Structures are given as C-alpha cells and as structure tokens.
Amino acid sequence: MTSLKLKERIEGQAYESHGQSFYELNEKEQFIVVGNAVMEQLVPRWIESKNKFKKKKQAYYLSAEFLMGRALSNNLVNLGMEDEVKRTLAEMGVDYNALEEAEDDAGLGNGGLGRLAACFLDSGATLDYPLSGYGILYQYGIFKQNFVNGFQVEEADPWLEHDNPWLIKNSNDTRVVEFSEEDKVEAVPYDMPIVGYGGETINTLRLWKAEAINKFDFNAFDEGKYIESVRAQNEAETISRILYPNDSTYEGKRLRLRQQYFFTSASLQDLMEKYKAEGHKNYDDFSKMHSIQLNDTHPAMAIPELIRLLENEGVEFEKAFDITQKSMAYTNHTLLAEALEVWEKDLFISAVPNLYPYIEQINARLIGELKEWNVDESDWHKYLIIQNNSIHMAFMSIYATSAVNGVAAIHTELLKTDVIKAWHDIFPDRILNKTNGITQRRWLLQSNPQLSEMITDLIGSKDWITDLMKLKGIEGRFEEEEVLERFIDIKKEKKVELADYIRFHEEVDIDPDSIFDIQIKRLHEYKRQLMMAFYIADLYNRIKADPDADWTKRSFIFGAKAAPGYYAAKSIIKFINELANRVNKDPEVNNIIKVVFVENYGVSYAEKLFPAADVSEQISLAGKEASGTGNMKFMLNGAVTVGTMDGANVEIVEEAGRENNYIFGMEVEEVVEKRGKYDPQKALKKTEGLKDVVESLVDGTFNDNNTGMFQDLYDSLIHEDQYFVLEDFASYREAQDQIESDFKDPKMFYRKGFINMANAGKFSSDRTLEEYAKEIWLVNKG
C-alpha cells in the first residue's frame, strides 16, 4: 500500500468514526483510527485463514486469562507494515510513539499463565497451526496499582472505556449459558485477530461478554422501580466485569465459579454448533476434529460441561466421557497445594447447580475404576474428585483428559514423583513435559530493535525471527572485540531508555552505569521478593558502616502486583517501598544504590524492563516455581540469572552454563530434607548482619503506619519461615556480592550476558507450541 493510499484510509476512518479530520483528534482517538485502518488491511487475510482451516482438526486453548499487551506494534511488525505506517504518520506530522502509548494494555490477564497463553497464540499463527483461544472479555483488568504512603492501592482498570479497534463483535454466534433452568445469561462473542509473523496466518482469540437475556424490564421502570428495571443486566454483566475477583469472600468465590463455567460452556457450545454446521450428523468424529487444551484448572468445568452438552444431544454417558477424554488435555502450572483448585461442594452447587450431577457421575466412574485397578480404599483420597465435602478440580482434570503436562523439566519430574505421584503410578504415560517458552517477536524483535538488528547482522539473515535456535550460531562471537562492545553499547542504550522512563513515571533517578538488578513478577511469598529486599537492607547497613569502600553502583528494580486479598504480599510491597524511601533519601548511600518499585507493572512496562536488565532475579524457593517465563525474557535480552535451581532456571543453566549465571541456595532435595526440622532462629543467628535486618521490621526503623503488617511479617519469619528466606539468605548474599565484584570488569560480566542470549533458542514458544501440536493436539499446519 502506498503512503498516499494509507493516508486516505486513515482520513476516511477519522471522518467515518468521529466526523472530524484526523488532525483534529486527540492521541487516543488517532490510535483507534489507525487501528481501524490496519484492520481494513487485516480482515480479508483473517477470513482467508479461517477458510483454509475449515474441516481440519483444530486446537483450542481455553484460558481464564490472556495477557496480550498492546497490539498496534505487534500487529504491524507481524504484518510487515511497521515501516510503512511509521513513515506515513511521520509525513502526516504524527508522533508514532505517542500513538503507541495511547493504547491501553488489554486487561485480559495478570501473570505468567496469561502471558504464556498470549505467546502460544502468537506462535500458533506464526507456525501456521490452527490454534484458537477462548476466554472472557473482562470489562476491567485485574486492577490499576497505585502506591499511597507505600501501600498498594487498587483502582479500576477500565481498558475498554474507549473503542478498541482489535475487537469485532459477532452477535450471530451468541450462546446461552445455563447455570440452572431459571438462571441463564447470553454469552456474546468478541473476536480478536492473532497475526502470525509474515501475516500469512491470522488466528482468532474469541472472548465472551456476559449479557442478560432480558436486558430491560419496562414494567418495573414504568412503576418507578428504576434500579430493578436493569437488575438482570447488571447481574449478568458482573460475570465478565473483572478479572479474578477477590476470592477471600464467599461471594467472590461464587463469582469465580460462575466466570469459569460461563466461558467454558459458551466455548464448548460454539465448537459443537460449528461442528454441526459442517454437516456432521453425530459426535463420533468430534475428538478427531477438536483438541481442547485446559490452561490450568480454571477451565476444568469444560470436562463435565461437554459431557452434559453431549448428553443433551442424545449421547449416553460412557460415550460422552470417552469423547471428552479424547478431546481434552490439561496443563498443570503449579506445585502449590493452594493453587490446585478445590471447591466446597455446597458453594459449587450454589453457583453451578446444573453441573454438579455430572461431576458425581465422573466420580462414580472413577470409583469403579479404582476398584478394577485394585487400589486400596485407604488410598482413594489421592484420587477422588469428590471427597470431604469438596470437589478437586485437578484430580478431575487428570482423570478425564488424555494428557497432562508440566511446564519445565524439574516441575514435571516433581509432579510424577511427588504432587500427583499416585496418578503417575496408574497412568505412567499420561504426564508429559512441555517446557514453557516466549515469543521472540514481542520480547526481542519488538521490544529490543537494537539487539535484534545486531543479531540479524551477525547471523546474516532474519531467520532467527521464526527459528530462534539460529542464535546458537553466534555464541562464539563474544570473543570478537567489536561484537562485545556493540552488545555492551546496546545494553547501555536500553538502560538509558529505561532510566528516562523511570525518571518520568516514578520520579526516581537511576544511574545507567549502575548494575540494573531487576525482579519483576507476581508478588507471592514463594518468589521471595522479601529476600531481595533483605539483601538491599543488609547492603545499606554495610555501606553505612564503610561508605568509602570500593562499592559498585547498583539499581534494584521491583515490579509486582499483589492480589487484593493477599495480606502478606501487600505487607512486602509496603516494606520494599519503605526501604526504597530510606535508601533513596540518604545522601551517604543514594549515590551508590537506588531502589525503585515501579507502579502498575504490566506487559508494556515489561517491554522496557527486560531489555535493560543486567541481572535477572529468579530466587524462588526450589521446588515452588513451576517454570517461569520472565527468566527466559531476561535471558533472551542478555541478562545473567541470579537464581535457585528451580523451574526453568535448571534448563537455562543447562543451556548457557552454570559459570555464566549465579546459582545459589538449597536444591529441591535439601528443601524436602529440611522441612519439619528447620529452626528459623538458628538461621537468623548464624548469618552475620541478618538479625539486624530482620529486627528492623519491628524496631522502629521502618514505618508500617501502625497497621501491624511488619510485626506479622516478622512473626511469620522467626516462627515458621515457610519459604526459607533466612536459610537461603547467606548463599544469596554471596552470589550477589560476586555479581558486584564481577561487574568491576564489564567485559567479563557482559560476556556472560551475551552467552546467555546466544543460548536462549530453546526457550522460544515456537518450540513449545510445536511439541504441543505434534505430541498432544495432533494437528497439522494449514
């Protein structure tokens, strides 16, 4: 398309949608207009992609969240239109970067599970696989995070407040979701294009919005009952109102259940209607045409719901179970018992009364098989879906699907040998490993164009964009002086960009010549953000004791949201902010170290943080992190990992070498051995300087505004220390001090980062997606 044609299209869209010239619009409106112009180009290709996959087996990814990030640049890069659009806008006198910033991050996800789903969709389209996503069109994201006096304060994230050019309403495919005979809502689909690199394949993410069947009660309104007249609509829309409502209350739990049923039921009805529309007279071939991936247990209701829907179509239970089992697979994302969803039976029946009888049938079938397998009744608690007045969604997901996969080698091994060992003993071939991955299109090509250009120059082609293993071919190039210097210069450039961004958004100055040591992820105690904070507090004390020593400048950067009901996590945020306040205001220390906790961490902020990092913090307690994907994004952008042998860290070290990273702490076997024998106070006493840091929680050094938060943190540490923060602290400090020492020789330090980058090929989501497609879904390319 010529610049003139694109200008005409943009101007035409502006007049059509706003009745004004493009030049009269604000940046938000201009972004929407440009997005609509891009969609004009995109939609015909999208239709072609749908047609080429018709009557072929397809894969469907059911997930409660898709952490998509902004779409404008991603779509332009993958369509090959980025240069053209930027050039045209420049000719029109429009700042493309301002337009890009005007796009809100899609409020459809929160953490690694949702970002993985987004990466998979990108890889599926890029590799030309028929992969569609199904989820919920949340009106509000999880929340916008603000800090007030150091406390996390949540406010609504109305990401759909303005028009969104990437969403197309498809009312013809509206489905009715039936919680009970009296309780029904409409599921209205909105489709988002997922553009593969090169633009040849465009797949679909279908998101369901909940609406009332009878949206307005005129009689109630006519009688002056104005609130009552729209009550049904408000109650229905609550289902898709917000991502992950606070489930610390009964009503919050009930809403989560209704959300999960809502999107799984609508999605399955969608698949069945399309199956029938293709001319199938019965459901004998349903599993031959559909592979449904359950992304964790959030979509596990799809199992009994598909059986229910099939029975409604006249399929008897045993056949319906067989079809369901052959059609579905389950990804386990956690080793934490509390994250393996278990619902109280009465709560479940209250939320989804129609579904419970089918779970009873599945459980009864399981009991029959346990008897056939001669499993001793004393061991049935390791399997039963319904027990102790509760429903175990993970057990149902293992039993009623054809494959179960872990997301890193060590995670999968722990599933087999510990978490679900009993199931592995019965189904030795069912549990598979599929180590997670990330898309290099967003996390390198888009977010780090400088490094992308260097890689292309070194390889001699852009093949790495769709085959990340090509990076391996440049591993030895760090020995060339000019190559390493260029790598260091790029890292410095990205650090300057981040420092400028942080200065503007957080009002904190950080020195681009300092070590950028970054921990960005969901705030959870097992991820041990607190241990990093303790290291900073200890380092502060050491600098105060000897301010004239040869200290290396360091900037410690955190980014994380705590779930609204997670008190301990919010306490840690408050502590880190108090620590930052103390460090950053002390003139004797703040020229050596700085601490920043960035507000409202999300995908767009991440795209600036990962390329600028020198050190990647992956310090979870061994055996707790399933995989991680942030560790891969840091690695791909040339950071070294300071971490435990946990999750995908194990494989990162295998690929890049232990000598090029900073591994510390107990390994899984040591953690298991210590559990039950551990005395936190002994760990506290044996580690020099640690007692002062821990005592500072309660000795008045830091102010928790009389909430008692810091006392609670202190008590949990000295009495239990569930995640062995105190035990692993000395080893962590030793690794951190080694980083400080090594950074004094920048070339030696950045060689390690270069080697990590060159060995990141395994961690492409393209590789992961290929494994799913060939070994679990059994789908072919278009």
Lookup: tokens for 368: 């029959």
Residue 620: which of 591, 650, 577, 597 has the closest Cα? 650
- Active site (annotated) includes residue 629: yes
Q: Mean of the pLDDT values across residues 742-770?
A: 98
Q: What pLDDT is attached to residue 616?
A: 98
pLDDT number for residue 113: 93
The pLDDT-based confidence of 229 (bands split at 50, 70, 90) is confident
Given a cut of 80, whether residue 230 has pLDDT beyond it is no
Residue 775 corresponds to which tokens in the numbers above?
């070994």
Active-site residue, 608 included:
no
- Say yes or no to pLDDT of 597 above 90: yes
Question: Rounded distance, CA 772 to CA 63, Å?
Answer: 16
69-89 pLDDT per residue, tens: 999 999 999 999 999 999 999
584's tokens: 């950053």
Burial annotation 299-331 (CB, 10 A radius, 16+ → b, else e): bbbbbbbbbbbbeeeebebeebbebbbebbbbb
Quickly count: other Cβ atoms within 10 Å of residue 748's Cβ.
Answer: 10
Q: How far apart are CA 695 and CA 698, in angstroms?
A: 6
Over residues 257-275, the pLDDT tens digits come to 999 999 999 999 999 999 9
Give the model confidence (pLDDT) of 485-537 as tens digits: 999 999 999 999 999 999 999 999 999 999 999 999 999 999 999 999 999 99
The residue annotated as part of the active site, out of 333, 491, 495, 554, is 333
Q: Which of 144, 522, 528, 733 is catalytic?
A: 522
The answer to whether residue 139 scores a pLDDT higher than 80 is yes
User: What's the pLDDT score for residue 1?
Assistant: 62
Q: Which CATH architecture has domain 492-762?
A: 3-Layer(aba) Sandwich (3.40)
Question: 138 with 210: CB under 8 angstroms?
Answer: no
pLDDT tens digits along 344-396: 999 999 999 999 999 999 999 999 999 999 999 999 999 999 999 999 999 99
Tokens of 714: 């202190």
Question: Which residues, in sequence order, are bridge partners of residue 723?
Answer: none
CA 387, CA 669: separation in Å to the nearest integer?
A: 31
pLDDT above 70: residue 402: yes
State the amino acid at position 188 in one-letter form.
V
What are the tens digits of pLDDT across the range 721-750?
999 999 999 999 999 999 999 999 999 999
The residue from 175, 527, 594, 608 that is catalytic is: 527
pLDDT score of 244: 87
pTM over 0.85: yes
Beta bridge partners of 203: 194
Q: What is the pLDDT of residue 318?
A: 98
Q: What angle do CA 730, 736, 739 make, to 5 degrees?
A: 150
Residue of 628, 677, 665 whose CA lies nearest to 649: 628
Residue 111 banded pLDDT, cuts 50, 70, 90? confident
Structure tokens at 232: 């049904």
- Tell me the pLDDT tens digit for each residue of 84-105: 999 999 999 999 999 999 999 9
pLDDT over 80 at 222, yes or no: no
First to last CA, the chain: 26
- pLDDT, tens digit (0-9, with 9 covering 90-100), for 148-172: 999 999 999 999 999 999 999 999 9
Distance (Å, whole) CA 625 – CA 649 = 10
**Is 686 among the catalytic positions?**
no
DSSP 693: H
The DSSP code for 302 is H
Percent of the chain residues topping a pLDDT of 70: 100
| Among candidate residues 155, 152, 153, the one with its CA nearest the CA of residue 142 | 155
Averaged confidence pLDDT in the chain: 96
Q: What is the pLDDT of residues 669-697, one digit of tens each?
A: 999 999 999 999 999 999 999 999 999 99
Identify whether 462 is a catalytic site residue.
no
Active-site pick, 629, 644, 687, 768: 629
CA proximity to 436, closest of 649, 617, 282, 595: 649
- Exactly one of 521, 554, 561, 570 is catalytic; name it: 521
Q: How confident is the model over 534-570, as pLDDT tens digits?
A: 999 999 999 999 999 999 999 999 999 999 999 999 9
- Phi, psi for 676 (deg, rounded to 5): 90, -15
443-468 mean pLDDT = 98
Q: Is there a catalytic annotation at residue 521? A: yes
d(CA 301, CA 634): 35
Give yes or no for residue 246 having a pLDDT over 90.
Answer: no
pLDDT of residue 220: 74
pLDDT of 174 > 80? The answer is yes
Give the integer Cα–Cα distance in Å for 400 and 366. 9
Q: Is 382 a catalytic residue?
A: no
pLDDT grade for 232, boundaries at 50, 70 and 90: confident
Q: Single out the catalytic residue among 633, 751, 752, 762.
A: 633
pLDDT value at 302 more than 70? yes
pLDDT 10s digits, 280-298? 999 999 999 999 999 999 9
What does the alpha-carbon distance between residue 694 and residue 718 come to, in Å, rounded to a whole number? 9
